[in-house]
Amino acid sequence: MGKLLKNRELLLVGAILVLIALIAWRFPPFIAPTNLARVYNDTSILIILALGQMAVILTRCIDLSMAANLALSGMVAAMLNAAFPGLPIPVVILSAMALGAILGMINGALVWKLDIPPIVVTLGTLTIYRGLIFLLTNGKWINAHQMSDAFKSFPRTDLAGIPVLSWLSLVMVVAIFLVMSRTSLGRAFFAVGGNPHAAVYTGIDVGRTRFFAYCLSGTLAGLSGYLWVSRYAVAYVDIAAGFELDIIAACVIGGISIAGGIGSVPGAVLGALFLGVIKNALPVINISPFAQMAISGMVIIIAVAVNARAERRKGRVILKKAEAV
């Protein structure tokens, strides 16, 4: 039982269930299966982004530029579609992902080759990427009527009763789970964050691993860029402004240690879902949507405090064992 209580993912599942129960008590229709599916769909983009951020945080880095990357890739996807409406949607998606990957590589290369602290790199590229959108568009919007129907309808298309957007996020969750648990790159993410020096001695190139983590987060941000723009059918300079904090919040809530090396895919998904449930519940239980920012701030602080306690306790147990021997 004690072990069960310490299991972070189960604890989070419990917290989310309690949260949903509380909302259902005030507003019963919230727990209708169709509504819960809608909440998941609404959280899909955050889930995809949190998976990328998780890889970066695992390696003791941070990517503050994800939302700006999303906005730039999304804008380019929208511009491609507006200029060449006949371009097949998979091509548009792949180019958004490719651009996202390149932007991620720039972050990764600066961290790897120049040894600049990740927070400085991504604070810098965050403003640069957003500024580039302005330079590309001169501040103009791309509105729904400039986008082709195929471009807008793809994430909404029903597949077996679930929209493509939800399917995509499910596929990404499974894919990243396999990368993390079944590939040497996934192990390397954990090793680099857990102990960079030990990682070097086991033959892992720390800088290169970080570079790949940024490539992954960039690619996922690029994908999310297309999804965001097509879902909301509008692209402008400030889309997803400040969303980088939600992404980090999802990771912190999901138990991913900002000090690196600790975290899991289910944790990141549950962290994102926790925020998604809150975001979707506020309007239906009559709390001003303006309160959302303060609530996510509170949740980040509480989550990081809980994480820190959990990590400290683990350290103590190891010491006790050493004494016993």
- The reply to whether 283 sits near another protein by the rule CB under 8 A is no
- The reply to whether 136 sits near another protein by the rule CB under 8 A is no
The least CB distance from residue 166 to another protein, in Å, is: 27
- The reply to whether 48 sits near another protein by the rule CB under 8 A is no
The residue (of 55 and 223) whose beta carbon lies closer to another protein is 55
Q: Rounded to an integer, what is the distance from CA 151 to the centroid of its chain?
A: 23
Q: Is 256 helix (H, G, I), strand (E, B) or coil?
A: coil
How many residues form the binding site for another protein (CB under 8 A)? 43
The least CB distance from residue 152 to another protein, in Å, is: 27
Q: Supply the angle between the helices 8-26 and 265-284 in degrees, to the nearest 10.
A: 10
- The reply to whether 315 sits near another protein by the rule CB under 8 A is no
Nearest by Cα to 276 from 257, 249, 244, 238: 249
Q: Tell me the C-alpha distance between 315 and 324, whole Å.
A: 15
- The reply to whether 102 sits near another protein by the rule CB under 8 A is no
The residue (of 148 and 195) whose beta carbon lies closer to another protein is 195
- The reply to whether 295 sits near another protein by the rule CB under 8 A is yes
- Return the residue matching tokens 């959108």: 133
- Which member of 123, 185, 282, 310 binds another protein (CB under 8 A)? 123
The residue (of 49 and 92) whose beta carbon lies closer to another protein is 49
166: left (phi over 0), alpha (psi -120 to 50) or beta: alpha
- The reply to whether 125 sits near another protein by the rule CB under 8 A is yes
Q: Tell me the C-alpha distance between 260 and 208, whole Å.
A: 16
- The reply to whether 298 sits near another protein by the rule CB under 8 A is yes
- Which member of 48, 62, 220, 268 binds another protein (CB under 8 A)? 62
- The reply to whether 201 sits near another protein by the rule CB under 8 A is no
- The reply to whether 293 sits near another protein by the rule CB under 8 A is yes
- Which member of 33, 288, 321, 325 binds another protein (CB under 8 A)? 288
- The reply to whether 121 sits near another protein by the rule CB under 8 A is yes
- The reply to whether 114 sits near another protein by the rule CB under 8 A is yes
- The reply to whether 53 sits near another protein by the rule CB under 8 A is no
> Which 204-263 residues touch another protein, going by CB under 8 A?
237, 245, 248-249, 252, 258-259
Q: Tell me the C-alpha distance between 18 and 12, whole Å.
A: 10
The residue (of 119 and 171) whose beta carbon lies closer to another protein is 119
- The reply to whether 266 sits near another protein by the rule CB under 8 A is no
CB burial readout 179-214, b (16+ within 10 A) else e: bbeeeebbbbbbbbbbebeebeeeebebbebbbbbb
- The reply to whether 55 sits near another protein by the rule CB under 8 A is no
Q: Tell me the C-alpha distance between 57 and 50, whole Å.
A: 10
Helices (H), 27-88: 33-58, 66-83
The least CB distance from residue 237 to another protein, in Å, is: 7
For residue 223, give the amino acid letter.
L
Under 8 Å between Cβ of 171 and 177: no
Nearest by Cα to 107 from 68, 134, 58: 68
Nearest by Cα to 197 from 116, 264, 263, 260: 260
With 0-12 / 13-18 / 19 or more C-beta atoms within 10 angstroms meaning exposed / middle / buried, residue 21 is exposed
- The reply to whether 11 sits near another protein by the rule CB under 8 A is no
- The reply to whether 305 sits near another protein by the rule CB under 8 A is yes
Which spans of this chain sit near another protein (rule: CB under 8 A)? 62, 110, 114-117, 119-121, 123-128, 130-132, 134-135, 139, 237, 245, 248-249, 252, 258-259, 288, 290-298, 300-301, 304-305, 308
